[in-house]
Amino acid sequence: MLPVLKTQRLLLFVPLIPAVAFLFIGGPSGFELPAMRYLWNMGHLALFALVTLLWHSYIPVRSRSQAFRLLGSVLLISLIIETLQMGIGRSFSLLDVLRNLIGAWIVLLFINRSMIPVVVSAALGVALVFDLTGLFRTGWLDWKIQSRTPVIENFEEPSASHRWKDQFETETENVSEGQFSGAVTFRPSRFATFKLRYPLKNWQGYHSFSYDVFNPSDELVKLSLRIHDRAHEREGNFQFQDRFNTSLELSPGWHTIQIPIQDIASAPADRRMDLSAIVEVQWFMVAPTAPQTLYFDNIRLTKDEP
Ligand SMILES: [Ca+2]
């Protein structure tokens, strides 16, 4: 049995109030690493463990029917919360609903595990393992990407490229570094993009951002590049003048493009870009009329002067 003394009840409300508020106003959006965001989202679990403790302190849960009533209430509340979140521009998350149930389930196990049918425990246990596996995989990928400085992407290690693997084919023919390059096909659309979301984040202490690109066609190809930091998404509101933008025309063959970091840092109109928190590098073509493939390789930071 898990007793909650009356004097401790009020203390349970202290973390509950800001936690409930964050459900609607969102958590701190300053995380540059997906694993931190993932961990934050797992806070649902702690919140509903707390809610269950509070419930139990006022309405003791002592039987299977009472446990079901509690889990049913958590499910209902979760569905309402997720539906309300859709109304404020956030998405409905089935995983968050499961997390809420898992949080309640863990506390119920401590109160009296015989109240929970094995099949319910098995289902929620599997969901918990799935969630923890997701956290581990996200953290491992963050570590892979952040630890291969000064390489941002060189297409040599498929496991490290997993985050953006859907956007390119690994190639061995047109390569400028190592054994592999990434063939990106820009298909007809308003903006055809190749996006490195959550790449190496700390660009401090380098002279240039550099990459190799091969144009296999016989014609000039116009390619644009944009780079932004975390603040661009929070305070900058994705405004054009608040990020680094550049365009170039690629003649047939290989090119090594080198962009001084200072140009990137000074690109936002009203501030310096935060070089410790780069969150996106994106190449794009505006309304290509036919599929256009380019080969990218050796995307990196360098300390050399161009
Ligand atoms: Ca390579």
Q: How far is the CA of 10 from the centre of ligand 1 (A)?
A: 58
Q: How far is the CA of 163 from the centre of ligand 1 (A)?
A: 17
Q: How far is the CA of 191 from the centre of ligand 1 (A)?
A: 26
Could you tell me the residue ranges of all domains in the chain? Answer: 6-145, 152-302
Burial of 147-175, coded b for 16+ CB within 10 Å and e otherwise, reads: ebeebbbbbbeeebbebbeebbeebeebb
Phi, psi at 207, each rounded to 5° = -90, -40
* Domain 152-302 grouped into CATH 2.60.120.260: yes
CB 242 within 8 A of CB 232: yes
pLDDT by 10s per residue, the chain, length 306: 555 556 666 676 767 766 666 666 655 555 678 998 888 888 889 889 988 998 898 889 889 999 999 999 999 999 998 888 888 777 788 899 999 999 999 999 999 888 899 999 999 999 999 999 999 999 999 999 999 999 999 999 998 899 999 999 999 999 999 999 999 999 999 999 999 999 999 999 999 999 999 999 999 999 999 999 999 988 778 899 999 999 999 999 999 999 999 999 999 999 999 999 999 999 999 999 999 999 999 999 999 765
Say how many C-beta atoms besides its own lie within 10 A of residue 135's C-beta: 15
Cα 259 to Cα 123, 130, 136, 209: the distances in Å are: 52, 42, 35, 5
Q: How far is the CA of 100 from the centre of ligand 1 (A)?
A: 43
User: Considering the entire predicted model, what is its pTM?
Assistant: 0.82
CA atoms of 48 and 52, how far apart (whole Å): 6
Q: How far is the CA of 285 from the centre of ligand 1 (A)?
A: 23
CA atoms of 48 and 1, how far apart (whole Å): 19
Q: How far is the CA of 7 from the centre of ligand 1 (A)?
A: 62
Phi, psi at 67, each rounded to 5° = -65, -40
